[in-house]
Amino acid sequence: MTTLLHISASPRGQRSESLAIAATFLDELRATHPEATVEHWDLWDGTLPEFGPPAVAAKMAVFGGADPEGDEATAWRAAHRTFRRFDSADYYLFTVPMWNASVPYILKQLIDVISQPGMIFSFDPETGYTGLLDNKRAAVIYTGAVYGPHRGRGFGNDFQQPYFEDWLHWAGVDDIRSITFRPNLATTDPEPGRRAAHLHATEVAREFLSPAGPALLAG
């Protein structure tokens, strides 16, 4: 059974531009691939564990070849459960609004919880990291209200898309389709860009589950 996991980092509900574009994507995906199972993970729903001192100690114990114990073992089991939920999907759809030039902290929390040895990566002292997420494909919806690639530094910088896609590549996900909507809401009419983003989402979704679907890498 083919499973797509929609991971949302937006807390804005019906007011969210990224979630509206995701709805368009999923409507098209269900229409063209009714056999697929779609699951949703709202990162704000309280199910994401923290990654504090016990979890960090557990990670370092595993790196050193030891088994975590006590509170460290409990934190490590929580990280494993979170990773299994994430890894159970064949395909991913991420909704990623821009927060302070980067990603929402709740998405960084997910990354920190699941980016563990034996889960997301392996490590060799001579060759470095190897991502373990094989045969996965991701679509990522990036939104922002001020930043734009040609607006100058006064409108911010993009540490959102480069950071997140670097993590995906590092984890082993090299097939990434990006969809962007970044209007300057202070000075421009957002509607043309909004229509273009929804159209692009439809196009990406239509071929997203195809084994040899085109790599639509830019929004």
Can you list the domains of the chain with their CATH numbers? 3-207 (3.40.50.360)
pLDDT at residue 147, rounded to an integer: 72
Which SS3 state, helix, strand or coil, does residue 6 take? strand
- State how beta strands 121-124 and 91-97 pair: unpaired
148 within 8 A of 114, measured Cβ to Cβ: no
Bridge partners of residue 139, in order along the sequence? 93, 177
pLDDT at residue 185, rounded to an integer: 66
Helix (H) or strand (E) holding 108: helix 105-114
* Among 45, 133, 118, 107, CA closest to 80: 118
92 within 8 A of 4, measured Cβ to Cβ: yes
Q: Which two structure tokens, joined as six digits, stand for 180?
A: 């962007």
Per-residue pLDDT of the chain (219 residues; tens, 9 = 90+): 799 999 999 999 989 999 999 999 999 999 999 999 999 999 999 999 999 999 999 999 998 889 999 999 999 999 999 999 999 999 999 999 999 889 999 999 999 999 999 999 999 999 999 999 999 999 999 998 877 777 777 777 788 999 999 999 999 999 999 999 988 766 678 888 899 999 999 999 999 998 864 444 444
d(CA 143, CA 156): 14
Q: Which two structure tokens, joined as six digits, stand for 164?
A: 């997140």
Helix (H) or strand (E) holding 71: helix 71-87
Q: Cβ–Cβ contacts within 10 Å for residue 198, how many? A: 19
Number of Cα atoms under 13 Å in the Cβ half of residue 196: 13
pTM above 0.85?
yes
